[in-house]
């Protein structure tokens, strides 16, 4: 494989997250790499910026903490992400569907108060000089805020942090409760399911985002008989 072909194939990997058409030549080259043990999923993981190079400094609850001890690699529909305070046993939804043994619920870390100085603060370096096949029209990092057990693509908040920016994201909780009499209201009137009525696999952490992610996966499997790379097991 020539250097030109190899470079073109690496650039074409960006189409995995934006669903653009790929030259058939790259598909043939991808097949060759596959025989050598390099699938698109592994290539994206190896080519993505390592978390220790992206996130330089971390503060939690006002104290500096070693980033490698709290940041872990996770999947999103935009590629691989560096995450904090996510379920340490969180796996792609397909794996959850096939789980048979008991699963210990994850207990997310909680804040001791309110204010920007008690939350998570990080210093990042997106290394714009190393960009090879960007899928966006800017240099920077996309920041997602979501429940610790949710798939990141269903984030409740999303922002972009570009070089030189100081980005502050706040979360305002909105408690929603319903009385026990809600079960007496027909489903076609309340337009929602109660946890015990749902066929979702993740019943211990049932919410709208989990339900949507599982529904999306089942639909993809039924229509295409395959799944996107970010749902596959590492």
For 119-135, the pLDDT digits (tens) are 899 999 999 888 877 77
Asked if residue 131 lies in contact with residue 14, where contact means CB atoms within 8 angstroms, the answer is no
Residue 208 belongs to what domain range? 178-233
Measured between alpha carbons, how far is 198 from 187 in angstroms, rounded to an integer?
11
Residues 164 and 109 in one domain: yes
pLDDT at 198: 62
pTM for the model: 0.71
Span 53-82, average pLDDT: 88
Mark which of 160, 175, 190 sits at the end of a domain: 175
The answer to whether residues 164 and 53 belong to one domain is yes
Query: In this model, does residue 153 exceed pLDDT 70?
Result: no
CA distance 173 to 221: 35
Is residue 84 domain-shared with residue 105, that is, in the same domain?
A: yes
* Backbone angles phi and psi of 109, in degrees to 5: -70, 140
Tell me the pLDDT band of 30, cut-offs 50, 70 and 90: confident
Q: Residue 99's pLDDT band (boundaries 50, 70, 90)?
A: low
| Statement: residue 4 has pLDDT above 80 | no
CA-to-CA distance for 33 and 151, rounded, in angstroms? Answer: 29
Judged against a pLDDT cut of 90, whether residue 33 lies above it is answered with no
Domain count, the chain: 3
Domain contains 142: yes
48 dihedral zone (left: phi>0; alpha: psi -120 to 50; beta): beta
Which pLDDT does position 95 carry in this prediction?
A: 43
Say yes or no: 170 and 227 in one domain: no
- 41, 94 Cβ separation under 8 angstroms: no
Same domain, 189 and 158: no
Q: Is residue 43 part of a domain?
A: no
Mean predicted lDDT score pLDDT of the chain: 77
* Confidence class for position 81, pLDDT limits 50, 70, 90: confident
Residue 111's pLDDT is what? 81
pLDDT band of residue 114 (cuts 50, 70, 90) is: confident
84 and 192, same structural domain? no
Claim to verify: residue 89 and residue 14 sit in the same structural domain: no
pLDDT-derived band at 93, boundaries 50, 70, 90: very low
Residues 54 and 141 in one domain: yes
Q: Which two tokens stand for residue 173?
A: 């909780």
Looking at the structure, do residues 59 and 147 belong to the same domain, yes or no? yes
């Amino acid at each position: 494989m020539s250097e030109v072909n190899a470079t073109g194939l690496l650039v074409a990997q960006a189409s995995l997250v934006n669903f653009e058409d790929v030259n058939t030549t790259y598909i043939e080259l991808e097949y060759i790499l596959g025989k050598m043990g390099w699938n698109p999923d592994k290539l994206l993981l190896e080519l993505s910026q390592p978390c220790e190079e992206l996130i330089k400094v971390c503060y939690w609850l006002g104290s500096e903490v070693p980033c490698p001890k709290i940041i872990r690699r996770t999947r999103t529909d935009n590629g691989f992400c560096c995450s904090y305070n996510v379920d340490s046993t969180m796996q792609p939804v397909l794996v959850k569907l096939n789980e048979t043994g008991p699963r210990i619920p994850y207990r997310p870390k909680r804040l001791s108060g309110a204010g920007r100085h008690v939350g998570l603060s990080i210093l990042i370096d997106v290394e714009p000089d190393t960009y090879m096949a960007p899928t966006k029209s800017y240099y920077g990092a996309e920041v997602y805020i979501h429940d610790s057990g949710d798939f990141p693509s269903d984030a409740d908040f999303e922002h972009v942090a570009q070089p030189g920016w100081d980005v502050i994201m706040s979360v305002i909780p909105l408690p929603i409760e319903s009385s026990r009499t809600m079960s007496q209201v027909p489903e076609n009137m309340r337009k929602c399911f109660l946890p015990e009525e749902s066929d979702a696999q993740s019943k211990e952490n049932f919410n709208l985002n989990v339900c949507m992610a599982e529904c999306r996966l089942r639909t993809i499997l039924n229509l295409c008989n395959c799944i996107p790379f970010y749902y596959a097991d590492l």
